[in-house]
Chains A and B, each alone.
Chain A
Amino acid sequence: MTRFGVIRFPGSCDEVDALLAARRFGDGELLWHRDRDLKGVDAVVVPGGFSYGDYLRVGAIARFSPVMEAVAEFAADGGPVLGICNGFQVLCEAHLLPGALLPNTSLRFIARQVDIKVANAGTPFTRACQAGDELSIPVKHTTGRYYHPDPESLGHQVVFRYAAGQNPNGSIADIAGVSNEAGNVVGLMPHPEHAVDPLTGSADGGKLFESMALASSSV
């Protein structure tokens, strides 16, 4: 059974939802930001929230935490790492993912359900999907405007795009999520861990955790 490790930073707020989502598809435990030990997990989730108060810039301080050194090594060895919202910001700041996140063009906090399209179904996080599938997943952020100086150059590294007309934050080329070159590190602004039960409107987010479970069990 796939063991997920969900990192808890001071200021994380979505780690418990991520843990509960992970446990629908495998086993899961929390990892502490001061620990270098990833406890032998098969996949790592860097969750949403406001790590270290988001002081200086979102994700800028969390990047230097001891656990992130271990995550960088885990990622370099091909381990699957998923960054959600603040986790996406942290992975960009850590240079594990390309680009950066800027304040929403509206300068407002946005919380709403959006449809995102799977652009690359070949990653360990999307292999339970087909390219072109639309997933209904909520966003909730103030700093979610994805920026890359040359988005065309990302190619297959664009994993999710906001569906036509639904880009909530001014992200360049409607990009909602990207991967590293190898595809084993993915980050996205929408929150799949909040969309794993029809009771809350959609279970589409479960696809990402299901994909991770498939990916690590086939290793």
Chain B
Amino acid sequence: MRKRVLIRPKEGILDPQGQTVERALPALGFEGVSHVHVGRMVELDIEDESQLAEICERLLTNPLIEDYEIE
């Protein structure tokens, strides 16, 4: 089964990458964009989906600083 894990900086942790992207948008004429966060995406094929949460918590993310969702 193909799965995607979306990983982003935890709420409340300063995200300078997101801020930099947000500040760049008005220069291109895009107004009204806020709360930009930059994370990463891991795509994988997995046989036993029940293992995925543990995989996320033990390797793909650092739960102290990152949140994730599986889709």
Contact = CB atoms under 8 A, between A and B. Distances in A.
Interface of A: 56-57, 60, 64, 93, 99-100, 102-107, 145, 147, 149, 170
Contacts of A147: 13, 64-65
B16 A60 contact: no
Contacts of B64: 99-100, 147, 149
A56 B65 contact: no
Contacts of A57: 62
A107 to B, nearest CB: 5
Which label, helix, strand, loop or mixed, suits the secondary structure of the B interface?
A: mixed
A60 B17 contact: no
20 contacts: A56-B59, A56-B60, A60-B59, A60-B62, A64-B59, A93-B62, A100-B62, A100-B64, A100-B65, A102-B9, A102-B13, A102-B14, A103-B17, A104-B16, A105-B16, A106-B16, A107-B17, A107-B20, A145-B14, A147-B64
Interface of B: 9, 13-14, 16-17, 20, 59-60, 62, 64-65
